Structure 1
Amino acid sequence: MKISVIGTGYVGLVSGVCFSELGNEVVCVDKISSKVELLNDGEVPIYEPGLKELIAKNKEKGCLRFTTDLTESVQKSDIIIIAVGTPSLPNGQANLGFIEQAAMEIGKSLNGFKIIVTKSTVPVGTNEKIQGIIEANSKHPFEVASVPEFLREGTAVQDTLQPDRIVIGTSGERAKRILVELHSPLTDNIMVTDIRSAEMIKYASNAFLATKISFINEIANICEKVGADVTQVASGMGYDKRIGSSFLKAGIGYGGSCFPKDTQALIQIAGQMDYNFKLLKSVVEVNRDQRFNIIHKLEAVMDLAGKTIAVWGLAFKPETDDVRESPAFEIIEDLLNKNARVKVFDPIATENFKQSFSLDVEYANSAIECAQGADALCILTEWKEFQDIAPKTIQSYLKHPVLIDGRNLYSEMELSETELIYYSVGRPNMNKGQKEQSPILSF
């Protein structure tokens, strides 16, 4: 099939590349000429394992190309996928400006029957607006469909090529038949529904996963008070098929481009319908507060003023350079406000963090350089590179043996040979440095 993908952000680029991998002819369109030039030169504007190799492979096969020419791409395609951004407005609502602009340009470009697919995350009813905009700008026939994405950054290529399910929302018979055919090589789990239900499925899925994360973090906080181990609690819960083990890993809360934006948007959608989504509001509040437990644990052992605090991890999760809504921003800002000196390191996301964070921090070139001479180390992202560094090695580089592990990277066995004052999330004391109550250190 001939496909145009409008927008080369995370969703658009990964989706377009994977559709070309299936043998379709794909053109990815973006207004930013520098991004298109970068992609045509074989470079990738985002870090996503496996993506660069697939781009090179399918460009060479002639199945994939990149352009700024939307009109030509639309006219030469059978399926038009809208994958532009829907960033949050200050009130939490989704900004549909890019969606509306894309719909208008698509309408003006139509030269025959097309299937218009929305893959961007949009509020319920948006596809009907898209249909109205296109109808106002074209006399050619078309059908609209909502096919939400369920990608995880860091495993986006795998998630696209091996999805749990495909949801297709449409009232068009041709769109239904063609889109089922397009996605059939990926999975047999294809659900066809009405457009509004498809739009809601995306928001409801992300809201539920965010709820699981906030729930297990609340359980972790209780575990710390009663002496239970949240990793064991989560494992025991996960064996229950009604619950499942995914997204039950305690830590410092969720971030990224999806969960924060989509939870706020769903709260706004509910509010516009005069419904108070109390549960989801609590999920957001718990997530916001959870990250500051890092600070509370540091302050339990030291006065932060004048201390050097090392931070490992700036991306909101491993295997991505995405720092959008990363807990690192607020944690580091709070440390600086408490007059601490902050050294940071991330294997991939440092440059993106620099572009978004203007306050004065020291950027290290390695994890060890970051930890060397610091009064304490805080781990904010569970990169494997960090887990491969033994706690005993970490202690040898720190000025004082204080490790705040926001991602529960280390086991009791690994910690047993250290004198670290070690705080994790939702687990009991596990080392010599913490067998007694930790007083505020005077140094």
Structure 2
Amino acid sequence: MNVGWIGLGKLGAPCALALQHLAGHDVLGYDLDRARVERMFSKGGDYGEQGLADLIDRGPLKLAHTVGEVVAHADVVFVAVQTPHAPAYGGETPAPWERRDFEYGFLVQAVRDVCRAAAEQAKPITLVVVSTALPGTCNKHLRGLLNAHVTLVYSPLFIAMGTTIADFLQPEFVLMGADRPEHLDPVVEVYERLHGRPLFKTSIESAELIKVAYNTVISAKVVIGNTIMEICEKTGADCDEVIDALSLATDRVISPKYLRGGMGDGGACHPRDLIAMSWLAERLELSYDLLGQMTHAREAQSGWLADLTVRWADQTGLPVCILGKAYKPESALTAGSPALLLAHQLGERGHKVIHKD
């Protein structure tokens, strides 16, 4: 297949080369800084990316001088330009208190150029956005740039610098978002020569969130692991032994369980354990009380459900009924019940609750 790849940085160049040499596609690349890309090819990719030099030795990419050349060549055009933060948000230094979205200027310009070229050439293409973006970005910034010749797909990659090629060739799953399932067919054709991994097809909005949620869950695991490390150092426990033991719990701890949206955590152990651990964090003077914040998050999220319930009750005039008092199905156990917490919060908001179990 004829493939275009716009954005030949530390992510784009290895992936484009893999599509060319390992999947056999006819790839034409483009980058605003053509001289930098040519230097990278001439030096064999000497910035520590595993396997990149071997791919370059097989032959560099063909490079276009304009986006229009890429559109004329390709059936599928990947856009993998940067969506950066300001340097102060890079993580090398403490982040400013003011929070910011990514910067989408490069992405918007690249998509605009592709759409304009497709319209001028009356050339139907599938435009695949690879760049990381927050949920809603495609609707807010990109959808208005599209025209009748361009089909939009959002398909970000789950790769890490240094192992980009290996991660690209053997992903856990391939994520693809589109407005209609048939829009994904050309992208599936591109990838099917490379991947034996499952394809996860969804909407563009869900794909945007899956990408950043994936990274966020990893970050949460790191923070929890480091919280355990700090407690171990201050109590004499062995951090590696603790994590080795938790790693054996592949049904509840290391699994998708408890990641579904819904009611808060419950039971005689979990909420009170968080409170006790928060007390311990204060006593041990941990650098950050993550566990106490998790307690506040549980209550705040239940409060949000209460507000949502009140809003619907006010709009419909219907009574509020909670089915279930126990925290666990097929039981009468109510200790730490999130349903009782929700009922309490609804009472605080002036709503009488019909509560049945």
Task: Tell whether the structures are fold-level matches, with TM greater than 0.5.
Answer: yes
CA distance in 2, matches of 1:127, 1:45: 34
Matched, 1:132 2:144: yes
Whether contact under 8 Å (1:106, 1:134) holds in the other structure is: no
* Aligned equivalent of 1:82: 79
- Equivalence for 1:52: 53
Q: 1:222 aligns with which of 224, 231, 239?
A: 231
Measure, in 1, the Cα distance between the counterparts of 2:190 and 2:235: 52
Q: Which amino acid aligns with 1:32?
A: D
The alignment status of 1:175 with 2:183, answered yes or no, reads yes
Call closer, same or farther: CA 1:121–1:45 in 2, change over 3 Å: farther
Q: Which moved more, 1:177-186 or 1:73-82?
A: 177-186
Question: Cα distance 1:243–1:157, how it changes in 2: closer, same or farther (>3 A)?
Answer: farther
Instruction: Name the SS of the counterpart of 2:11 in structure 1.
Output: helix
For 1:46 and 1:147, the matched residues in 2 are separated by 26
Q: CA deviation at 1:69?
A: 2.4
Distance in 2 between the 1:93 and 1:45 partners?
Answer: 32
CA drift of 1:173 comes to 4.4
Structure-to-structure mapping, 1:205-284, within 5 angstroms: 205-241=214-250, 242-244=252-254
CA contact (8 A) 2:5 2:30 kept: yes
Q: 2:127–2:150: 8 Å Cα contact kept in structure 1?
A: yes
Q: Which amino acid aligns with 1:117?
A: V
Q: Deviations over 1:364-384 (max 9, x none)?
A: xxxxxxxxxxxxxxxxxxxxx
Q: Does 1:194 align with 2:209?
A: no
SS of 1:41's partner is helix
Distance in 2 between residues matched to 1:42 and 1:27, nearest whole Å:
20
CA contact (8 A) 2:172 2:197 kept: no
**SS state at 2:29 partner:** strand
What SS is found at the alignment partner of 1:87? coil
Give the equivalent residue in structure 2 for 1:152: 160
TM-score (norm 2): 0.63
CA distance in 1 between counterparts of 2:142 and 2:47 reads 28
The amino acid across from 1:85 in the alignment is: Q
Provide the identity percentage. 28
Query: 2: CA distance between counterparts of 1:100 and 1:168?
Result: 20
Shift of 1:175: 2.6
Pick the aligned partner of 1:92 from 100, 103, 107.
Answer: 100
Structure number, greater radius of gyration: 2
| In structure 1, distance between residues paired with 2:31 and 2:7 | 5
- For residues 320-365 of structure 1, the C-alpha deviation after alignment (integer angstroms, 9 at most, x for no partner) is xxxxxxxxxxxxxxxxxxxxxxxxxxxxxxxxxxxxxxxxxxxxxx
Partner of residue 103 from structure 1, selected from 111, 128, 131:
111
Q: What TM-score results when the alignment is normalised by the length of structure 1?
A: 0.51
Q: Aligned partners of 1:175 and 1:19: how far apart in 2?
A: 20
- The answer as to 2:15 corresponding to 1:18 is no
Residue 9 of structure 1 aligns with which residue?
Answer: 9
Provide the residue aligned with 1:299 in structure 2.
Answer: none
Counterparts of 1:295-306 in structure 2 under 5 Å? none
Which protein has the bigger helix share?
Answer: 2
Following TM superposition, by how much is the alpha carbon of 1:10 offset from its aligned partner in structure 2, in angstroms?
2.3
Check the 8 A contact 2:3/2:75 in 1, yes or no: yes
* In structure 1, distance between residues paired with 2:223 and 2:202: 30
Query: Which residue pairs with 1:410 in the alignment?
Result: none
Residues 170 and 197, structure 2, Cα contact 8 Å, conserved in 1:
no
Give 2:25's aligned amino acid.
N
Contact 1:84–1:99 under 8 Å retained in 2 = yes
| Number of the residue aligned with 1:120 | 131
Cα distance in 1 for partners of 2:45, 2:53 equals 6
What amino acid is aligned across from residue 127 of structure 2 in structure 1? I
- Counterparts of 1:292-331 in structure 2, within 5 Å, are none
Matches of 2:64 and 2:46, distance apart in 1: 15
In structure 2, the CA distance between the partners of 1:106 and 1:235, relative to structure 1 (3 Å rule), is: same
CA distance in 2, matches of 1:172, 1:2: 22
Q: Is the CA contact 1:127–1:145 (under 8 Å) kept in the aligned structure 2?
A: no
Q: Which letter maps to 1:15?
A: C
Letter of the 1:130 partner, please give it. L
State the distance in 2 between where 1:71 and 1:39 align: 23
| Gapped regions of structure 1 (runs ≥ 5) | 246-288, 291-443
What root-mean-square deviation, in Å, do the aligned CA atoms of Structure 1 and Structure 2 show?
2.0
Distance 1:4-1:222 versus aligned 2 partners, 3 A rule: same
Aligned residue for 1:101, secondary structure, equals helix
State the aligned residue count: 239
